[in-house]
Amino acid sequence: MTTTVLGIIGGSGLYDLPGLEDAPWVPVESPWGQVSDALRIGEVDGLKVVFLPRHGRGHRVPPSEINYRANIDAMKRAGVTDLVSVSAVGSLREDLSPGTFVLVDQFIDRTFARAKSFFGTGCVAHVSMAEPVSPLLVDAVEAAAKAEGIRAVRGGTYLVMEGPQFSSLAESRLYRQWGCDVIGMTNMPEAKLAREAEICYATVAMVTDYDSWHPDHGAVDITSIIRVLHENRDRAQALVARLARDMPRTHPQCPVGSDTALDHAILTAKAARDPDLVARLDAVAGRVLNRD
């Protein structure tokens, strides 16, 4: 049986995770480049928890320049089995008002300036993204939210845009027509890379604003966003603390195959694989590459 290790990636407004016992900031090197920050590694009631601020402490790294591959690789090297992304988003629905937490289950990727896979020439792989989040992990997050009295809506589609600018009015209206529920800049390719790394993934999307579509709210106001971010931060920290206390200590098998996503994904014959790329994949895909 695999021991559960909970990973938390904190988005805008969440740059630290109080309450961890004996939790130093540990620098991590990755063959994929610079990680956003050191990892804060500690325990909550005996459960190992690994925290990474996505933008770095002090919010130094913009969405398009985050090294998502290095971040996910670092989490994998730290032993993370279950990864929760805590992310600030805009709402594309009237009923998802600022302050609401949305446990999304689907993504539409509209980013274009980011490396989106660990694999490539010399080692080709294709993983399924039909079910990008792990339902058992979402169950645990939902239960933690209820226990803390936090309004969390389960289900929804997260439109991931490139940024760093917010949407135009026409874009915001288009994404609503597509049936999207929230919009943000960071969960892709993060979710894709977590899948390739066989880490169960879930998103807590914290609504800060109504994007630009809402007739009564107009353009996105960064001052209002920062205010809501601060309000959301305290609830997000309470949610994560509860989740860590209540998570099963033994990692259950994912019913949608998040933790076995590479079983039949790698197509390149062993003799044709690029040894340099294979070496970089040691943490992400070592389970399968070492088996072949």
Active site residue 37: no
Q: Could you confirm whether 209 is annotated as catalytic? A: yes
CA separation for the pair 236, 195 (Å, rounded): 24
Catalytic residue among 211, 234, 259, 276: 211
211 carries a ligand binding annotation: yes
Which of 165, 163, 184 is CA-nearest to residue 175?
A: 184
Residue pair 24/101 in contact (Cβ under 8 Å)? The answer is: no
Closest residue by Cα to residue 252 from 106, 75, 81, 72:
81
Is 139 annotated to bind a ligand? Reply is: no
- Is 239 in contact with 144 (CB distance < 8 Å)? yes
Task: Compute the residue count for the chain.
Answer: 292
The reply to whether 129 sits in an annotated binding site is: no
Name the nearest CA neighbour of 84 among 252, 237, 256: 237
Integer Cα distance of 38 and 53 in angstroms: 8
Report CA torsion sign: 149, 153, 154, 160. Answer: negative
Q: Does the annotation list 88 as a binding residue?
A: yes
CA distance 150 to 261: 32
Residue 201 among known ligand-binding residues? no
C-alpha 239/C-alpha 216 separation (Å) is 31
Single out the catalytic residue among 37, 209, 263, 282: 209
Distant-in-sequence contacts of 125-128, Cβ < 8 A, 24+ apart? 125/196, 125/262, 125/265, 125/266, 125/267, 125/268, 125/285, 126/265, 126/267, 127/192, 127/195, 127/196, 127/261, 127/262, 127/265, 128/195, 128/257, 128/261
Torsion of CA 241, 36, 193, 100, to 10 degrees: 40
Pure H helices in 120-221:
135-147, 169-177, 187-196
List the beta bridge partners of residue 83.
Answer: 7, 201
Residue 1, annotated as binding a ligand: no
Catalytic residues: 209, 211
Binding-site members are 12, 54-55, 87-88, 185-186, 209-211
